[in-house]
Structure 1
Amino acid sequence: MDLQNVLVETIGSMRTVKALAAEDEVRKKVESKFRLSTFVQMKSWKIGIISGSIGTVLQTLSGVTVLYAGAGFIIGEKLTVGELMAFSAVYALVTNAALGLIGIWDEFQGLRIALERLDDVFETEREEVDPTGLTALPKLRGTIEFERVSFRYDSDGKNVLQNISFELAPGQTIAVVGRSGSGKSTLVNLLLKLYEPSSGSVRVDGHDLKRVQAATLRKQIGVVQQEAGLFSGTIRENIAYQIPDASMDEVMAASMLAGAHEFIMTFPNGYDTQVGERGASLSGGQRQRIAIARALIGNPRILIFDEATSALDNESEKTIQRNMSTILQDRTTLIIAHRLSTIRHADRILVLDQGVIAESGTHEQLMAAKGLYHMLVSQPLE
């Protein structure tokens, strides 16, 4: 995979990279590709010099040919010496100009595209201007607190979330349900510090996330998104993406817990199987189970499932559900889902409607209340 493809893949999966706090690993990968690309470019430059020399020789030969033919015309009195000299001068000017214009145009087009892409990068606001002034989180216990949190994308826009408050003790599981656009995934982005609240505070183990280094938070949170977000490379590399030096035993333990080990071992190369760009060689369910294994390999204290089972077929989901109690054990878990089998055993369920908490309780309590939750689970959730 060349440098350009690596950059395109990385930028296209930036949310996954940031959620995994894998910026350092990606940077090393890009630097490695850059060094290789530089070597190839230098080799190409040398070839260009050689080909340029050949072009010069050919140009010289063509000039000699013109002079030779012209000499014949002069001897045959079909051309004067002055006319031949004038023709040769014009020929040389036109040839040099044409070759120069072609080279300049190619360089200009490449420069223009490069500058446009570079401008996009420079215009992107840095996530943390001075991370050294922020707190590095110690090992987490898993307490999560949202206190009167509101969020809007634009300063003069409408609140996507309004006055959200809830608390999760270590080891508890909370599920969030609601219609599409109700603000469910925004909660995840706030907890990962991908966004910051417009007002209120999000705290983990009592630490306000506004004052916390994002990387030290994300490295201790396992995230499974609706889109698996796999990268080119082997299955093992993808599972160990956040922890590249993870042992094979750790990789296999995580994949077994995620229900991925069995299908991985059906491949001739097992864990060394190439997944292709964005995991194109795998099915949706296979990609998602690898993403779940990737989230579990670091044994995180906080786990987030953001529509994680939506791409699973029934058999894959049954495998995950069988292991769910083990997966959730001793972890604080936030589940955003639309499948009843995924949410009904949560310690608490929050029902979001137009950015506010409309209902809160256990599955049994909310079903008995016959409110919005009852209506949503009585039909497919969006």
Structure 2
Amino acid sequence: MIAFRILAGYVTGPMIRLSGLWQNVQETSLSMDLLSDIVDSPAEELPEQAGNVQMPLLTGHVEYRDVTFGFAPGQQQLSNVSLKIKAGSFVGVVGQSGSGKSTLMKLLPRLYTPNSGNIFIDGFDVNKVKLDSLRRQIGYVPQDAVLFEGTIRDNIALFGDLSDDAVIDAATVANAHDFIMQLPSGYSTKVGERGGTLSGGQRQRIAIARTVASDPRLLVFDEATSALDYETERRVCDNLMSRFSDRTVLFITHRLNTLTRADWIVFMESGILAEQGTHQDLMARRQLYYCLYSQQSRM
């Protein structure tokens, strides 16, 4: 019996190792397939755009000129949108779900390309400047915050070698410092894959802090505070207004009462720019913005 067990060990040991090796081969093959998809992706910069010029340092004057966009023929997400945004202004972008808010903002860093019309920043057509020179000056924070394996500090300081003070400062602007300090390891806390150890609101605030830390020339928050309660969102919004008072900030939200201090508010409806103005102007008109604001105030 003892001899049998010894012989069985000689046989089963290699078989178990072989099974583990096969699993590793399968995982490696899957990773290579995913990497191949990325490597084989077509370049975002088209051949005819090879002569595009470098985008100078942004001041933040934005103009949409008769912009129309749709993912498929006959399905327009935006229709003949014309909009001017002054440099250094804090602009709220609001409207019901599906109104075209996010699509409008994604055109700015050329995540999408208009079917017709033009978008200008500081007088430069964004489709005629080099893509990297444009995007590295725009801080874009999506609704679904993407965090990476590592610590909270690593995620905030992703785009540069920042001092501890700079990391804490960015987290404070994002209203994240207090909850970070309550974690067992503070800024050294591991966030797990895709930030799985944090709540949705915590992930969003870390993503906002990361963008703040990168100090972009123009900022776009695409419902980046959707998982926050009203009071936290208001504090984040106020902090951004103070920190980036000389930068253009475009802030999409469903909560209109967050934006009463905004320099300008854009109201989208079914892909059309329905209204624009200050909070006071829009309330005085008693149209779409007034109705939605009044409805939310009663909730």
Q: Which residue of 1 aligns with 2:245?
A: 329
Task: Map 1:24-103 onto structure 2 (within 5 A).
Answer: none
Q: Which residue of 1 aligns with 2:122?
A: 205
Shift of 1:119: 7.2
Per-residue CA deviations over 1:134-166 (Å, capped at 9, x if unaligned) read 222222111111111111113x23221111111
- Gaps in structure 2 of 5+ consecutive residues: 1-9
Instruction: Report the more deviating stretch, 244-253 or 187-196.
Output: 244-253
Q: Which residue of 2 aligns with 1:158?
A: 75
In the superposition, relative to structure 1, how do residues 267 and 114 fare at CA in structure 2: closer, same or farther (>3 Å)? closer
Question: Which of 1 and 2 has higher RCO (CA within 8 Å, sep 6+)?
Answer: 2
Take 2:70 and 2:166, find their aligned partners in 1: how far apart are those partners?
40
4+ residue runs over 6 A deviation: 108-116
SS of 1:379's equivalent in the other structure is helix
Q: Which residue of 2 aligns with 1:347?
A: 263
Q: Which amino acid is the alignment partner of residue 206 of structure 2?
A: I
Q: Which amino acid is the alignment partner of residue 378 of structure 1?
A: S
Check if 1:359 corresponds to 2:275.
Answer: yes
Count of aligned residue pairs for this structure pair: 279
Q: Which residue of 2 aligns with 1:33?
A: none
Take 2:285 and 2:132, find their aligned partners in 1: how far apart are those partners?
41
Q: Which residue of 1 aligns with 2:143?
A: 226
Q: Which residue of 2 aligns with 1:256?
A: 172
SS of 2:76's equivalent in the other structure is coil
Shift of 1:334: 1.0
Q: Which amino acid is the alignment partner of residue 173 of structure 2?
A: L
SS of 2:57's equivalent in the other structure is coil
Q: Which residue of 1 aligns with 2:200?
A: 284
SS of 1:193's equivalent in the other structure is coil
Check if 1:306 corresponds to 2:216.
Answer: no
Q: Which amino acid is the alignment partner of residue 175 of structure 1?
A: G
Which structure has the larger Rg? Answer: 1
Q: Percent identity?
A: 47
Check if 1:238 corresponds to 2:155.
Answer: yes
Shift of 1:120: 4.7
- Gaps in structure 1 of 5+ consecutive residues: 1-53, 59-101
Q: Which residue of 1 aligns with 2:42?
A: 125
Take 2:153 and 2:29, find their aligned partners in 1: how far apart are those partners?
39
Do the aligned residues in 2 keep the contact of 1:178 with 1:351 (CA within 8 Å)?
yes
Per-residue CA deviations over 1:68-106 (Å, capped at 9, x if unaligned) read xxxxxxxxxxxxxxxxxxxxxxxxxxxxxxxxxx9xx99
Per-residue CA deviations over 1:352-376 (Å, capped at 9, x if unaligned) read 1111111122212212222111222
Take 1:237 and 1:118, find their aligned partners in 2: how far apart are those partners?
23
Q: Which amino acid is the alignment partner of residue 256 of structure 1?
A: T
The answer to which structure has the higher helix fraction is 1
SS of 1:166's equivalent in the other structure is strand
Provide TM-score, normalisation by structure 2: 0.83
SS of 1:291's equivalent in the other structure is helix
Q: Which residue of 1 aligns with 2:4?
A: none
Do the aligned residues in 2 keep the contact of 1:338 with 1:380 (CA within 8 Å)?
no
Take 1:339 and 1:314, find their aligned partners in 2: how far apart are those partners?
8
Shift of 1:307: 1.1
Q: Which residue of 1 aligns with 2:96?
A: 179
Per-residue CA deviations over 1:15-47 (Å, capped at 9, x if unaligned) read xxxxxxxxxxxxxxxxxxxxxxxxxxxxxxxxx
Q: Which amino acid is the alignment partner of residue 300 of structure 1?
A: P
Take 2:39 and 2:168, find their aligned partners in 1: how far apart are those partners?
40
The answer to which structure has the higher strand fraction is 2
Per-residue CA deviations over 1:314-367 (Å, capped at 9, x if unaligned) read 453353245243133111111111112322222222211111111122212212
Take 1:322 and 1:365, find their aligned partners in 2: how far apart are those partners?
21
In the superposition, relative to structure 1, how do residues 197 and 298 fare at CA in structure 2: closer, same or farther (>3 Å)? same
Provide TM-score, normalisation by structure 1: 0.66
Do the aligned residues in 1 keep the contact of 2:91 with 2:265 (CA within 8 Å)?
yes
